[in-house]
Every structure is written in structure tokens, then in C-alpha cells.
Amino acid sequence: MLDGIMLGLSTVLDWNNLLYVIVGCFVGTFIGMLPGLGPITAIALMIPITYSIGADSGMILMAGVYYGAIFGGSTSSILINAPGVAGTVASSFDGYPLAKQGKAGKALAIAAYSSFIGGTIGAILLMVAAPLLAKVSLSFQSPDYVVLMFLGLTAIAAFSNKGQFLKAMMMTVFGLMLATVGIDPSSGTERFTFGQADLLDGISFLLVAMATFALAEALINVARPEAEPDKKIDDPDTPKIGSTKLTKEEVKDMAPVVGRSSLLGFIVGVLPGAGATIASFMAYATERNLAPKALKDKFGKGSMRGLAAPESANNAACTGSFVPLLTLGIPGSGTTAIMLGALIAYGIQPGPMLMQENPSVFWAVIVSMYFGNIVLLILNLPLIPYFAKVLAMPKSVLTVMILFFSLIGVYLVSFNTFDLFMMVGFALVALVLRLLAFPMAPLLLGFILGDMIERNFRRAMMISDGSLSFLWDRPLTLSIFVISILVLLFPLKDYIVQRRKEKAATQAEQHA
């Protein structure tokens, strides 16, 4: 392995390749920052360039663009609540509230550090255990995905504040319902398309996320201008972005969160059927469940833990997705599918033999990830104050900008005007729901997990001949299933303990 690292180092330290790392990170960050445009667009744009350079450089460039886009996606999530990439949707849950509280600088810094650590931990794991991890990505079968996604769904509890559980449940069900639109994955028949050809492919996750978060947010700004008195106009020179420095306590508080989420994110990323988006949601939910009582209520209202968790998880997951790509030749997402195509075009066969046949590509990509993450940190930290100045703009301008960029972003993905109408429709519905204090995050959770649960569940049922026995046939499935049941029952324990205390208290009062 040491030889491999040396080989990778010597490839990456070539000034040409170093340049590609920097260019890749830079381009990725900026395209990722644009609401709606994610790594898939960014990499597709890079393809013509990669053909004219060698395989090592091409892969280094594309990998840089990929994690750069995930890195950059958080900026727009935090600043304007318009997720740049599906994987950073969860970052807006707490990132945007932080920015609203005047801590934009800090939020961006947390995102940058967490991404950096997530990416680096991912790269280390990739380096030491890629062949071993290939076994992990193949050990997951459809039933395991079902229970894993089910575990993810238990996170609704994480998104519901006190007394809002019913509302959160309703939104989750709404999300599950939206996920059924389109061609039925198992039978091939159309569902809820109303004869509308544009609905055949289903509704895009990013469209729903942008409509319910960015667009609805902008509309709320218009509908309730008095809700937040705009002081920024009076004082444009000192915008409230806050310091980018983190205190020692904050670092101490977040360190275990980042560590756990990086690990979780990486493992979820290794699974070809999951990915960065699922990873970020799961990390968010896990941290919410693990947080002590006092911090729990802060989630969704600007918790730093709630931002650090998805940010480290999505970058680690993105690195993790290179495991099935490089060691098995299996792409887990559209983005890695394009990279697989590029590898094959170079005449390189990904798979178990890659490390022997093309060690330079394998190691160069991994070593370039360390450099890439450092580049991203150096690139982003000094720019934070400038990015954050966006918030210093008068609200009237900012709102228009948000509308413009989120609509353009969704349009640039599909080039379909129907999507724009659909987006506006969703935004209006979301506006009403938000004014009625319905939470939006459970909608997205239900939407993204609903689709995956359905596909995997029906596949598992077909494979097991219509028997539910797949839930307990394999130890892996059973253990994840048991964990999710425990997670569901866990809040009940608190409830019972509290009831007992109250009872004891009232009894004590009566005795007195």
C-alpha cells in the first residue's frame, strides 16, 4: 500500500495534475453553488475536456468536480435556502436558520470544516480498505435497503417539534404520495400521470426541494415583509454575517458529531443503492436522536450539530461511492455512471483488477482527494465573507435573485418549461402549508425515501415469492430492522419516565 501511496503522490504532485485538482475543485464548487445544478451537470460539462488529457488527470479532474460540487452546494443551501445539490438539502435545515440569526459566516465555516473532515476521513477509509469495502457494498440486498430506508423514515421524529408530530406525519405521507407519481417501477404502468407525458418520469427531488424551500421562502418574504424588520438596508457597510471563527467549546461539541457522521456517510455512500442524499438525511436524523435533550430542540432552528452532521456525511458518502465504482465497476448514481463511462473510454476496466492493472489511476484518484479537500478548504474559507455578503443585499433584490436562480437552476437540469409551472405550483402549496406551520423537511424525507422503499420492497417481495420472510431471513436485515424498531420505541421510554415522575410528583403533593 505504501508503494501505492507513493505512486499516487508522484502522479498527483505533477504540476499538471495539481492544476487539474485545483481547476476541478473550483469549477465543481461554483457549479454546485448554483441552485439546482449539481455534480452530474458539472461532470457532463467536463467530459469533452477529459478526453484530451490522460486517464489519471481526467479522473483527478472529474473527482475534484464531483466533491467540489457537493462542497459548493452547501453555500446556497445555507445562504438562500436553495439547495445547490440534492445531497445538501439536509444542510439547509439548520444552515439557513443559522444564517438568518446572523451567523452566516459561522455556518459557512462549519460547512467547510465538516466537509473537509468528512472528505478526508472518507479518503483515508477508501485508501486503507477499498477492496474490503467492496464486499460491504455487495452484501446489501434489496431487503437490507428496505429496512435501511425504514430506519431513515424513523427520522420523522427528528423533524417534528413538540406538538407537531401529527403535522410532521402528515407531511411525510404527502411526500410518500408524491413519490408514487410516474411509471410504476415494477409493473411499468403509469400512475397519477393524468395523461401528462411530462409526469411519466416522476417528479424530481431537487424540484420539490427548491420549490418548497427556496421559492416558498422567497414568497414568504414577500407575503410577510414585516415579520423581520430589515435593518440591513440602513447599514450596508457592516452586514450581519457574524464571525467565521469557532470557539473551542463549539469545536469540542461538534467533533464527535463530525466523526460519527463521516463514518456513517461513508458507509452509506459505499452502498450502490443509497448515496449522498440519503447519507445526509440519515446523519441528520441520527445526530438528532443522539443529542441530549436540551440540544435536541435546537435542531431545525439553527443547531450547529444539525449542520455539521449532513455536511460531513454527504462529502464522506461522495468519497465512499468511489468504492463500488473503482473496485466493482458499479455506479451507484448518475454521476458515478458518467465517470464509469469515462473510465471505459480511456480503456480502463474498473473492477477487482484495477489496482493491479492500472495502479496509477487508482492511487492518483485517492491521493488527489486529500489535496482536493485541502484545496477546497483554502479556496472556500477566505471567500466566506464575500459569499455571505449576499445577505447584505436589500431584501427586495435578494428575493428576486432567489426566485431567478432557483427557477433557472431547475430549468437548466431538464430544459422543460413544464417543470417551472410544476415548481411554482409546489411553491404555492408549500407557502400555504408553511403559513399553517407545517414542517417541510418531512415532506422531502418521505419523498426521497418513499420511492426507494417502494422499489426495494417490491423487488424483495418478488425475489422472496411474495413472502415477508425476507425481513428476518438474513442477519443483516434483521439487525437493521431491530435497530429501527428500537429507535422508534426509544422516545417512548422518555415519555414513560416523565409520566412516572409527574405521577410521583402529584402523589407527593397529595401526601403533603
Partner 1 sequence: MTMFKSLKRSVLAASLLVASPLALANLHFLVPGGPGGGWDTTARGVGEAMVKAGIEDNASFQNMSGGGGGRAIAYLIESGTKKGDMLMVNSTPIVLRALSGKIPYSYRDLTPVASMIADYGAFVVRNDSPFKTWQDVIDAMKKDPGSVKVAGGSARGSMDHLVAAQAVKAAGLDGRRLRYIPYDAGGKAKAGLLSGEVNLLSTGLSEALEVANGGQARILAVTSADKLPDYPAIPTLKSLGYDMEFVNWRGFFATPDLPADKLAEYTEKLRKLQQTSEWEAVRARNGWLNLFQEKEAFIKSLEQQEAQLRVVMKELGFIRG
**Residues 317-336 close enough to bind partner 1 by CB under 8 A:** 324, 328-332, 334, 336
Residue 340 binding partner 1, by CB under 8 A = yes
CB of residue 44 to partner 1, shortest distance in Å: 3
User: Residue 404 or 495: which CB sits closer to partner 1?
Assistant: 404
Q: 260 CB contacts (<8 Å, ≥6 apart)?
A: 283, 286, 287, 290, 309
From residue 487, how far is each of 114, 158, 289, 320 by CA, in Å?
Answer: 26, 11, 8, 25
> 119, 67 in Cβ contact below 8 A?
yes
Q: How far apart are CA 147 and CA 153, in angstroms?
A: 10
Q: All 3 cell numbers of residue 98? A: 443559522
- Window 25-54: residues binding partner 1 (CB under 8 A): 30-31, 33-34, 37, 40-41, 43-45, 47-48, 51
Side chain identity, residue 300 = G
DSSP tag of 191: E
Q: Per CB under 8 A, which of residues 352..381 are in contact with partner 1?
A: 352-354
- Give residues 56-115 in contact with partner 1 (rule: CB under 8 A): none
Say if residues 398 and 391 touch (Cβ distance below 8 Å).
yes
Collapsing DSSP to helix, strand or coil, 2 comes out as helix
How are beta strands 182-183 and 190-191 bridged, if at all? antiparallel
Pick the binder of partner 1 from 5, 14, 173, 190 (CB under 8 A). Answer: 190
Q: Least separation, in Å, of the C-beta of 82 and partner 1?
A: 12
CB of 31 to partner 1, least distance (A): 6
Nearer to partner 1, 275 or 442 (CB): 275
77 or 312: CB nearest partner 1: 77
CA 483 to chain centre: 22
Cβ closest to partner 1, residue 160 vs residue 321: 321
The footprint of partner 1 on residues 128-167 (CB under 8 A) is 137-142
- Report how far apart, in Å, the C-alpha atoms of 484 and of each of 84, 185, 282, 480, 497 are: 30, 26, 12, 6, 21
Pick the closer one to partner 1 by CB: 15 or 386.
Answer: 386
Q: What is the CA radius of gyration of the chain?
A: 23
- CA distances for 318 relative to 69, 267, 331, 333, 432, angstroms: 10, 10, 12, 10, 35
The distance of closest approach from Cβ of residue 231 to partner 1 in the complex, given in angstroms and rounded to an integer, is 20
For residue 325, the minimal CB distance to partner 1 (Å) is 9
Minimum distance between the CB of residue 340 and partner 1, rounded to whole angstroms? Answer: 7
What is the per-residue binding string for partner 1 in 193-232, x denoting contact by CB under 8 A? Answer: ----xx-xx-------------------------------
State in angstroms the smallest separation of the CB of 331 from partner 1.
4
Specify the residue, 226 or 465, whose C-beta has the smaller distance to partner 1. Answer: 465
Q: How far is the CB of 383 from partner 1 (least distance, A)?
A: 8
Interface residue with partner 1 among 107, 285, 338, 443 (CB under 8 A) is 338
Cβ proximity to partner 1, 147 vs 431, nearer residue: 147
> At closest approach, how far in Å is the CB of 284 from partner 1?
24
Site for partner 1 in 262-281 (CB under 8 A): 272-273
Does position 341 interact with partner 1 (CB under 8 A)? The reply is yes
Residue 190 is inside which H or E element, if any? strand 190-191
CB atoms within 10 A of CB 458: 16
* 396 is a contact residue toward partner 1 (CB under 8 A): no
Q: Tell me whether residue 47 is exposed, middle or buried, using C-beta atoms within 10 angstroms of its C-beta: 0 to 12, 13 to 18, 19 or more.
A: middle
> With binding defined as CB under 8 A, does residue 478 bind partner 1?
no
